[in-house]
Amino acid sequence: MDFFELTSNPIDIARVSRRVVPSECGATVTLDGYARKYTKDKASGEIRETEYLEYEAYEAMALKEMQKLIDAAKQQFEIANVGIVHRIGRLDIGETSVVISVAAPHRKPAFAACEWLIRELKRTVPIWKKEVYSDGEKWIEGDAETPEDVTK
């Protein structure tokens, strides 16, 4: 069974990972993405120390985009089931922000699909991350190959 969810509660990774497993599968690849304390600023090279994160989602659209990603992944890769759960709200350092589990008959397509799914999720699913520091905070803007930039 495929599933995709947003939650403001801690994510049980093992539960997500097992929920995707049908009897014809032999491998599940699970990504556990979690809140990082130290981030190197791409522009300045400066290392920022994050105290905690806040994620915000455009929930209705995020769920639609997650469904589209799962459909597209299943077209491209020989996989059976996909589960995606993204946390929103406040996260402490080390807490899981996103879990993607891909079950497949064989491991290689599962690895490839999981990598594709997280890359696309970061580009197309309308969720935003704010890093909060001891002396301020900053909404992070993605790498912006994101679908369309209407101002340019």
Partner 1 sequence: MNINVLFFGATADITGQRRVEVAIAPETTASEVSQNIIAEYPRLASHKIHISLNQQFASGDEIVRDGDELAIFTAVSGG
Q: Note the residues at the interface with partner 1 (CB under 8 A).
A: 33, 55-58, 60-62, 64, 86, 97-98, 118, 121-130, 139-144, 146-152
Nearer to partner 1, 78 or 133 (CB): 133
Smallest distance from partner 1 to CB 142, Å: 4
| Residue 101 three-state SS | strand
Residue 32, both tokens: 């556990």
Q: How far apart are CA 99 and CA 85, in angstroms?
A: 5
Smallest distance from partner 1 to CB 63, Å: 9
Smallest distance from partner 1 to CB 51, Å: 18
Nearer to partner 1, 63 or 80 (CB): 63
Smallest distance from partner 1 to CB 82, Å: 15
Nearer to partner 1, 45 or 147 (CB): 147
CA distances in angstroms from 78 to 4, 10, 112, 122, 152, listed in the order given = 19, 30, 10, 22, 38
Secondary structure E strands in the chain: 3-7, 27-34, 38-40, 47-49, 52-57, 81-87, 89-92, 96-104, 127-133, 136-139
Smallest distance from partner 1 to CB 90, Å: 14
| Residue 116 three-state SS | helix
Nearer to partner 1, 83 or 129 (CB): 129
Would you call 23 exposed, middle or buried from its count of C-beta atoms within 10 A (0-12, 13-18, 19+)?
A: exposed
Nearer to partner 1, 31 or 104 (CB): 31
